[in-house]
Amino acid sequence: MPPAPPDPEPGPARPGWVRLDCHLHTVASGDAVTTLDELADRVAALRLDVVCITDHHVISAAQAAVERGIGARVIVGEEIRTPDGDVIGLFLTDRVPYVLPLAQAAGRIRAQGGLVYAPHPFDPGRSSLGDALAPLCASGLVDAVEVVNAKIADPALNQRAARLAARFGLPGGAGSDAHDPAGLGAAYAELPDFDGPASFLDALHQARLFGEYRPHAPRYAAPGG
């Protein structure tokens, strides 16, 4: 079943449940423009309860968001480039260097008590794991697979990710992959509340996923615009 489109004016999640965006970026990513102030404003407007800040190769903005507060619980994450494609670490305490071999990067995530999350695994337009994902799942080094990514225009690619997650008994996640404030809220999961990596995975198995395609906003105005 495809994910439901997000409610344009979402109400609170059901009692005991939370609304979570598994994958988003701030200006610290280098290719994104959302500041922490803008993120806080959008979190309030969208009634997000938890956000995974998954900047490229840095965790400083996520840690700053934890310290200052943005109106939602923050899971510190990092999107990490490997020779085989991108992987996300969640619940991190330390940055994982990029361009490590894939299995080594996953091991670094696990060694600090984090979770290995595979983003946009079959998107050919980005650094995705593709055929490298199944062997990594078979090795037991993947905890969750992103099966709804709001930057993927072709729903068949998200469906392929969902089939692979089901094949290995892994929970699926939903991420806006927002690089700008307008992109936030395009995809999210509603799931039972949780208090750490293990209960997060248990809850994600029960999640209801919502999402729609929402492309990145142009970074620069068109000539004459």
Phi, psi of 177 (to 5 degrees): 55, 30
Query: How many residues appear in the chain?
Result: 225
User: Is the pLDDT reported for residue 140 higher than 70?
Assistant: yes
What are the residues whose beta carbons fall under 8 Å from the beta carbon of 94, sequence distance 6 or more? Answer: 59, 112
Percent of the chain having pLDDT more than 70? 94
Percent of the chain having pLDDT more than 90? 88
Distance, CA of 205 to CA of 191 (rounded, Å): 8
User: Is the pLDDT reported for residue 186 higher than 60?
Assistant: yes
**Chain segment 77-131, per-residue pLDDT in tens:** 999 999 999 999 999 999 999 989 999 999 999 999 999 999 999 999 999 999 9
Position with higher pLDDT, 186 vs 5: 186
Cβ-count burial of 11 within 10 angstroms (0-12 exposed, 13-18 middle, 19+ buried)? exposed
What pLDDT score was predicted for residue 224? 45
Within 10 angstroms of residue 114's Cβ, the number of other Cβ atoms is 24
Average pLDDT over residues 181-204: 97
What pLDDT score was predicted for residue 6? 83
What pLDDT score was predicted for residue 7? 76
**Chain segment 47-74, per-residue pLDDT in tens:** 999 999 999 999 999 999 999 999 999 9
What pLDDT score was predicted for residue 225? 38
User: Is the pLDDT reported for residue 5 higher than 90?
Assistant: no
What pLDDT score was predicted for residue 4? 80
User: Is the pLDDT reported for residue 220 higher than 60?
Assistant: no
Position with higher pLDDT, 13 vs 50: 50
Closest CA to 84 of 43, 29, 133: 133
User: Is the pLDDT reported for residue 155 higher than 50?
Assistant: yes
- Whole-angstrom CA distances from 54 to 8, 88, 186 are 24, 7, 16
Can you list the domains of the chain with their CATH numbers? 18-211 (3.20.20.140)
Strand 50-53 with 17-24, pairing: parallel
SS3 labels along the chain = CCCECCCCCCCCCCCCEEEEEEEECCHHHCCCCCCHHHHHHHHHHHCCCEEEECCECCCHHHHHHHHHCCCCEEEEEEEEEECCEEEEEECCCCCCCCCCCHHHHHHHHHHCCCEEEECCCCCCCCCCCHHHHHHHHHCCCCCEEEEEECCCCCHHHHHHHHHHHHHCCCCEEEECCECCHHHCCCEEEEEECCCCHHHHHHHHCCCEEEECCCCCCCCCCCCCC
Within 10 angstroms of residue 109's Cβ, the number of other Cβ atoms is 26
Distance, CA of 85 to CA of 72 (rounded, Å): 29
User: Is the pLDDT reported for residue 217 higher than 80?
Assistant: no
What pLDDT score was predicted for residue 1? 56
Position with higher pLDDT, 5 vs 93: 93
